[in-house]
Structure 1
Amino acid sequence: MLRVKNMAGVWKNFAVGFLVRHYRAVLGCLSLSVFLAFAGACLLRPVYSATALLLLEPGASESTDTARLLAELELLRQPVVYARAAAQIGLLDRDDLSIALRLRDEALAFFHVPRVADGMASVEETAREITRSVTAERLGLAPIIAVTARAGCPDVAAAIANAVAGAHLGLQQEARSAGALRLAAPALPPAERYGPAAMETALWGLGAGSLLVLFGLVFAAGPLGSVRSKQALARIVGAPFTLGLPQLAKRCSEGASHADALAETPDSPFCEGILALRMTLSRSLATEKASPVIAVTSAQVGEGKTTTALALARALDRAGQRVLLIDANGGSGGLRRCLDVPSAGQKWAEVDEGTFLAATHRDPISRVSVLLDLERPSASGGRRRLASVLRAARFSFDVVVLDMPPASRSADLAELMPQVSAAVLLARWGRTEPENLAEAAHAIRAAQSGVIPIIPVLAQMPTAIQRRVRRQRPAYVTE
């Protein structure tokens, strides 16, 4: 029961947070759906409906009357009735006869589109249209058959309903079986149109837009079995605690990163989460004698490793430490795009412990030194060179941050993890599968001979509505 309540709370926070973050898209989707439905109801030609009633006189027994009424309904729905009705009506305008969706004459005139005349419909075409547009059904429990016809013109709708009812009566009289059946109420031209109704279609559009938003909410949530709480993340990784990084609403363009929030909005929840990660690592590495090496990795691709590594390096720089950030993610180019620096074209074959300082770049908004644009360490003995660079960097910098590839690359982990002092394992909210996360934690522990702290971080957590707290005005404040 407690787990169900926790899941309900998580889904509630996510739903509210999703609606708040994407309220423009939600309102736009709903407004567009209502507008299109309302515009369709106003621009499309109306369809009119007329009904003729056939009364069956009661017979000797109720069961016999019911059976006769059902028999009359079946006979009334036969094609021969519609063929005779079409022959009685004669030639009709196709535009008045059809119930297909077409623009009004006023709308065509407004858009300066000439109306194309459809011409007169033949008897066969009229019979086909009557078959599609006429319905016959019993009215409740009364011995009455309602013949309803729909057409683009009210006079044509009434003419079709009366013609179908009259054709059925004529056929029954010819068969000498229409003794008790008579035309009770002839159809009259309706005063109101049958459809489409503007308000009704607008409501249908609102419902369709709501379903669209609901489906978008479900698809944005990701797989249902993914990690959605910090408690579940800590249990899967086997860590005593977990940190969380909220999702930022804005989208970053080329040359920018969410890590820029440390300089732009230092009081944001994302920056608070990065500072909490920095302090957690500082406490975990308090007994480390040499300069620590912090590896930032994840279980899958695209979970925010580069953004977290860059933000962590900048947070350590703000604390007064000399930081080296190394792109060890196989030359993916993600870190270079975040920093908007030109490509250096360096390879691990050209970098060693004596030349790596000359190959570093300076972060444009901090003092962090960045070593990037390198190929995957597995090529040209790159893992051994990276290991030697890490040993040399400990003498030149206070902290080294590694933007690692996913933990599924066990060969990279086996070579680099012995040099690592602490690992930050990222999981993306609503995307990371528990099985992949458990395998990543196992791979990190297997690649490390000793015991290093693993800090699990749940990234891109949805945020809920933050309600303002009403504060009482102090009595000593005067106007």
Structure 2
Amino acid sequence: MDLRDYLRILRRNWILIVSLTLGGLLAGGAASVLLKPSYTATTQLFVSIQNSGSVTELQQGNTFSQARVQSYVKTVATPVVLQPAIDSLGLNETTEELAKHVTATTDLNTVLINISVTDSSPAQAAAIAQAVGASLVKAIDTLEKPKTGGTSPVGLSIITPAQAPATPSSPNTKLNLIVGLMAGLALGLGAAVLRTTQDRRIRGESDLHRVTDAPVLGGIAFDPDAVRKPLLTQAAPQSPRAESFRQLRTNLQFANVSGNAKTVLVTSSLPGEGKSTTATNLAIALAQAGQTVCLVDADLRRPMVNDYLGLERNAGLTTALLGTADVGELLQPWGDDRLYVLTSGQIPPNPSELLGSEGMRRLIERLEQAFDTVVIDAPPLLPVTDAAVLSQHVGGVVVVVGSHKLKQQDLAKSLNALSMVGADLLGVVLNRLPVKGPDAYAYNYYSQGAVEEKPEHEGRADESLQSDESPLASFVSTFHGEPSRPPGSFLPGSKRNAPHS
């Protein structure tokens, strides 16, 4: 991982990191409040040579004293020193217990000994420190006294008597807060890295590129109103949602620069990723650009296009494939643009066989002759094989990826299924992206072209509706040539079933 990956981890998990950091800070504060305060009293002793003489003798004596000081420091914690202190103060504890509260230290190259005693009572701490210091003076005098008699060559003197401390030595609130803060921060960072490495869901482009190098045709931000208003025409013209589908339309045209993919299959890996709304809105966006578009609902298991557009579903794709009615009689115009919809029809017991049949291939070829673009909404790839079978009859496939829903391994399986049947993957659409944060899909107003220019063929599209030589007019006239057409048949330009918005 590079620096950008770490920054993305921080941005994705900043709430977790801040929460654990504050938790560590609170834990440090709670420890400072709950711990019983203790006090530390200190006394200081000076080690000297009793005999005086020349400067050389004094230097030798000083070296001797420094060498002996380390031994005296270790002597403080022995019963020889502590037991007399216990007896003098009448303490109800053993020398081993008292030794845990007594600390003796010395500074380097000095003859000073510091004795510190910690106790819950400041007065008791001072009394014990003073008693231990006095006991050490007597013990060293006894230990250093020559066996032949005479005085000890070494003398200890208390130069700083112990005093009762005014403030507790622990808990150290400032230190506890700092330690808690740093511990919480370290725990938060560790949890963020662990969470990111273990989370295999696709959250944005960075996760997507770990699975595939396919181009990202567009990103659609999550909109809570999309459940009630899923259509592009129900959003404000300059809204981010409307702009995202216009960008998808533009990028799809660049992905299909050769123009071979007149039929675009829209699918996903799992249900609930938004493939049907993406296919529907893509068809609407293409129609708004002046193209003649046919939207086919080929999801013969859970059809949704008719619900979104408010159209009749009983007669549709399956009706045409079974030969009960011709497709020209089943197309339903929608809206004020050149958008025609072929709903799913009755749900059959064998969807895969119908979609992979020769009749389906011929139907797609006929639609390609009559329309500029055919958009097909297909079932998801992983639960059923319908989309993989149908992808062999179309010019290109667009896979919709639901952000925060689909796992990387599931997308890899879906793309592998398309690759095995030789499908032409045009690109991927990221759906339900967060509006803000590291995974938000940003739009550049100037690079995407805020002003939509009508394609050159738009002017000819009007002529195609009036000219009997155009593919669409020929396609319609073949099945709607009679002046009195049966119920359910529609001519181009008809306003029947137009949306009421």
TM over 0.5: yes
Partner of 2:251: 280
- Gaps (5+ residues) in structure 1? 92-121, 340-349, 356-366, 467-479
| SS of residue in 1 equivalent to 2:37 | coil
Identify if the C-alpha distance between structure 1 residues 70 and 440 changes in structure 2 by more than 3 Å, giving closer, same or farther: farther
Partner of 1:106: none
Q: Deviations over 1:229-268 (max 9, x none)?
A: 96996697454x43564886x9x89x96998999679867
Partner of 2:426: 454
The residue type equivalent to 1:47 in the other structure is S
Partner of 2:115: 147
The residue type equivalent to 1:123 in the other structure is E
Identify if the C-alpha distance between structure 1 residues 51 and 311 changes in structure 2 by more than 3 Å, giving closer, same or farther: farther
Find the aligned partners of 2:343 and 2:46 in 1 and give their Cα distance: 90
Tell whether the 8 Å contact from 2:46 to 2:112 is kept in structure 1 after alignment: yes
The residue type equivalent to 2:194 in the other structure is F
| SS of residue in 2 equivalent to 1:56 | strand
Partner of 1:469: none
The residue type equivalent to 2:139 in the other structure is L
| SS of residue in 2 equivalent to 1:57 | strand
The residue type equivalent to 2:376 in the other structure is V
Tell whether the 8 Å contact from 2:263 to 2:394 is kept in structure 1 after alignment: no
Tell whether the 8 Å contact from 1:230 to 1:244 is kept in structure 2 after alignment: no
Shift of 1:218: 2.3
Tell whether the 8 Å contact from 2:295 to 2:375 is kept in structure 1 after alignment: yes
Match of 2:268 among 265, 289, 296: 296
Query: With structure 2 as the length reference, what TM-score do the two structures score?
Result: 0.55
Tell whether the 8 Å contact from 1:165 to 1:183 is kept in structure 2 after alignment: yes
Q: Please state if 1:399 is matched with 2:375.
A: yes
Partner of 1:477: none
Identify if the C-alpha distance between structure 1 residues 35 and 322 changes in structure 2 by more than 3 Å, giving closer, same or farther: farther
Tell whether the 8 Å contact from 1:274 to 1:311 is kept in structure 2 after alignment: no
Tell whether the 8 Å contact from 2:211 to 2:408 is kept in structure 1 after alignment: yes
Find the aligned partners of 2:231 and 2:190 in 1 and give their Cα distance: 32
Partner of 1:202: 177
Q: Please state if 1:8 is matched with 2:11.
A: no
Partner of 1:444: 418
- Which of structures 1 and 2 has the bigger CA Rg? 2
Tell whether the 8 Å contact from 1:161 to 1:187 is kept in structure 2 after alignment: yes
The residue type equivalent to 1:399 in the other structure is V
Shift of 1:189: 0.4
The residue type equivalent to 2:420 in the other structure is A
Find the aligned partners of 2:108 and 2:387 in 1 and give their Cα distance: 76
Shift of 1:327: 6.8
Shift of 1:199: 3.5
Partner of 1:473: none
Find the aligned partners of 1:261 and 1:33 in 2 and give their Cα distance: 48
Tell whether the 8 Å contact from 1:275 to 1:315 is kept in structure 2 after alignment: no
Tell whether the 8 Å contact from 2:263 to 2:396 is kept in structure 1 after alignment: no
Alignment of 1:222-233 (within 5 A): 222=197
* Between 261-270 and 196-205, the greater mean CA deviation after superposition: 261-270
Alignment of 1:315-330 (within 5 A): 315-316=281-282, 318-319=284-285, 323=295
Shift of 1:455: 0.9
- Gaps (5+ residues) in structure 2? 50-58, 146-151, 288-292, 308-317, 325-339, 368-372, 443-501
The residue type equivalent to 2:167 in the other structure is E
Q: Deviations over 1:322-360 (max 9, x none)?
A: 7566779x99xxx99xx9xxxxxxxxxx999669xxxxx
| SS of residue in 1 equivalent to 2:60 | coil
Match of 2:32 among 41, 65, 70: 41
The residue type equivalent to 2:32 in the other structure is A
The residue type equivalent to 1:55 in the other structure is F
Match of 1:215 among 180, 190, 205: 190
Find the aligned partners of 1:141 and 1:325 in 2 and give their Cα distance: 91
Identify if the C-alpha distance between structure 1 residues 387 and 204 changes in structure 2 by more than 3 Å, giving closer, same or farther: same
Identify if the C-alpha distance between structure 1 residues 204 and 180 changes in structure 2 by more than 3 Å, giving closer, same or farther: same
Shift of 1:77: 3.5
Query: Percent identity, aligned pairs only?
Result: 21
The residue type equivalent to 1:188 in the other structure is Q
Shift of 1:69: 1.8
Identify if the C-alpha distance between structure 1 residues 268 and 9 changes in structure 2 by more than 3 Å, giving closer, same or farther: farther
| SS of residue in 2 equivalent to 1:175 | helix
Query: With structure 1 as the length reference, what TM-score do the two structures score?
Result: 0.57
| SS of residue in 1 equivalent to 2:190 | helix
Tell whether the 8 Å contact from 1:244 to 1:457 is kept in structure 2 after alignment: yes
Q: Please state if 1:123 is matched with 2:93.
A: yes
Match of 2:353 among 362, 384, 399: 384
Partner of 1:306: 272
Find the aligned partners of 2:374 and 2:220 in 1 and give their Cα distance: 28
Tell whether the 8 Å contact from 2:273 to 2:401 is kept in structure 1 after alignment: no
